[in-house]
Amino acid sequence: MTDLVRLALEEDIGPGDITTQACVPESQKACGRFLARESLVVAGLDLLREIYDARGGVEELTLGRRDGDRCHEGEILATVFGSARTQLECERVALNFLQHLSGIATTARRFADAVADTSCRVLDTRKTTPGLRTLEKQAAAAGGVTNHRMGLYDAVLIKNNHIAAAGGVRAAIQRARITGLPVEIEVRTRSELAEAIESGAAHLLLDNLTPREAAEWIREIAGRAKVELSGRITLDTVQAYANTGADFVSSGAITHSAPAADISFRLELV
């Protein structure tokens, strides 16, 4: 993540933090603490060392928690000691990463908890912030959901536009077999469902069905393929979808709509 951290710091600091340089003596030391201001699942803590090292380092950095830990309001997530200037320069970038990634981990944990009493697993998606996918998926996993494919290169998922471009369900599946990977395919009608199963699809994606409709389709599939449900899946609906008998439910909201976690940074002179 070094390049990403460098870009984030360059974006914020530019040629120099003029406020800190004007107000804070170069020799001033300080102790800073990252604090949870609400109950949350923390993620992104390992980035702190990279952030500080990119600006010359600090004398001591202690992580009070680990990614994936549930934290309560007032808990200290990390403590840093060293140059006050360095800590002030890095404050916003550090908080931006921690708040964003902890927000995703917290949202992921809520989804995972909602289906904990079922055999269904929650998946994340590729609906991520450009350039931040690896970090966002790490945060989702820290929150307890399962990572789906990282990109277009590591799994076969035939969507409706692939089917149209390939000339149909059967043709798309047959061509996808050359990859040697299990084939997942989105089906939108009962006829597409039947054709996909007859063509040997190992994994079916059912999109934008109601829980009742999904349960009917899953009974028809009768275990002949794994089933993933997507579309309309929110924290309010995920349990109902999980109870349909699906193997997986996926939700883009975990990464694209997670609210930032409330984390603060407090600096004290020493």
Return d(Cα 229, Cα 207) in angstroms, integer: 6
> Which domains are seen in the chain, by residue range?
2-108+259-269 (3.90.1170.20), 112-256 (3.20.20.70)
Question: Of 78, 92, 89, 84, whose CA–CA distance to 29 is shortest?
Answer: 84
Inter-helix orientation angle 133-142/84-114, to 10°: 60
Sequence-ordered alpha helix ranges (H) in the chain? 2-13, 18-23, 47-53, 84-114, 133-142, 160-166, 169-176, 190-198, 211-221, 238-242, 253-256
Candidate list 33, 70, 127, 188, residue with the active-site label: 127
Task: Tell me the pLDDT of the chain (270 aa) as tens digits.
Answer: 689 999 999 999 999 999 999 999 999 999 999 999 999 999 999 999 999 999 999 999 999 999 999 999 999 999 999 999 999 999 999 999 999 999 999 999 999 999 999 999 999 999 999 999 999 999 999 999 999 999 999 999 999 999 999 999 999 999 999 999 889 999 999 999 999 999 999 999 999 999 999 999 999 999 999 999 999 899 999 999 999 999 999 999 999 999 999 999 999 998
Contact predicate 29/270, CB 8 Å: yes
Write the DSSP assignment of 194-227 as a string of letters.
HHHHHTT-SEEEEES--HHHHHHHHHHHTTSSEE
Active-site residue, selected from the candidate residues 69, 186, 192, 195: 186
Told to judge if 170 belongs to the known catalytic residues of this protein, a careful annotator would answer: no
Q: What is the pLDDT of residue 73?
A: 98
Query: Out of 65, 121, 159, 170, which one is annotated catalytic?
Result: 159
In this predicted structure, what is the pLDDT of residue 182?
87
137 catalytic? Reply is: no
Question: Which of 113, 207, 216, 262 is flagged as catalytic?
Answer: 207
Q: Which of 269, 270, 221 is nearest to 245 (CA)?
A: 221
Rounded Cα distance, 229 and 240, in Å: 11
Give the total residue count for the chain.
Answer: 270
Q: What pLDDT was estimated at residue 1?
A: 64
Other beta carbons within 10 Å of 39: 13
Q: What distance in Å separates the CA atoms of residue 40 and residue 106, rounded to the nearest whole number?
A: 5
In DSSP notation, 47-59 reads HHHHHHHTTT--S
User: Annotated catalytic, 37?
Assistant: no
pLDDT the model gives residue 168: 96
Helix H, strand E, coil C: the string for 87-111 is HHHHHHHHHHHHHHHHHHHHHHHHH
- Catalytic, 154? Answer no
Of 29, 92, 121, 175, the catalytic one is 92
92 catalytically annotated: yes
pTM for the whole thing?
0.96
Q: Which residues neighbour 251 within 8 Å (Cβ) at sequence distance 6 or greater?
A: 111, 122, 123, 124, 125, 230, 233, 234, 238
